[in-house]
Amino acid sequence: MTAGAELLRRNGYTGTGVKQIVQAANAPFGSLYHFFPGGKEQLGEEVIRTSGMLYLALFEIFFADEPDLIHGIEACFASAAETLRETDYADACPIATVALEVASTNEKLRIATADVFTAWIEAGTEKFGKYGLSAESARLLTIALVNSLEGAFVLSRSLRNTESLQVAGISSVALARTLLP
């Protein structure tokens, strides 16, 4: 699962072979179809769902016991930029690459990515509501934040710099200030 998650986020679903996964995991090939009788698709779906929940937990950490919404947002994008630099621009969003690949070709995997994004949006909406935002504003800010993060990941990985993530942080903070009471 861990090896699969790393390869899928970096090379995508069709760009990753099952043999490549078991080799990276130092796992016996026979075990793959023992634990994942559904094959590559089942492995892919479980990777998407668990990676999505792990990433959500990461988000929760940034705003846990954080009294300041603005500082929480800044920390999010700064941390994302640091991870990109440290991993040579490989480890961005754990599911975006697969999400774009399968959106028009594999309905089961597409739904898995949609469930993850929905969970993120609902969690963010609830969290931001605690900073005094209305339900509508909290949802707007959450989606705008995910938009900026995902888009900045695309630019960052392609251009191999973190300017887009810095801009995403600035623009998200600016939006938060206009929504904050």
Partner DNA sequence: GTCTATAATTCGATAGAC
Partner DNA sequence: GTCTATCGAATTATAGAC
Say how many residues touch a second copy, by CB under 8 A.
49
CA distance 181 to 114: 31
Name which of 58 and 144 has its Cβ closer to a second copy: 144
Chain residues 94-133 in contact with a second copy, contact rule CB under 8 A: 96-97, 99-101, 103-105, 110, 113-114, 117-118
In angstroms, give the least distance from the CB of 99 to DNA: 18
Q: Is 170 in the site for a second copy (CB under 8 A)?
A: yes
From the list 43, 120, 51, 40, the residue with the least C-alpha distance to 91 is 51
From the list 66, 46, 51, the residue with the least C-alpha distance to 10 is 51
Structure tokens at 174: 């600016």
CA distance 55 to 79: 12
Choose the stretch contacting a second copy; rule: CB under 8 A; options: 25-33, 37-45, 52-60, 88-96.
Answer: 88-96
Q: Is 107 in the site for DNA (CB under 7 A)?
A: no
The set of residues, in sequence order, having a beta carbon less than 8 Å from that of 143 and lying 6+ positions away, is 121
Site residues (vs DNA, CB under 7 A): 16-20, 28-31, 33-34, 37, 39-41
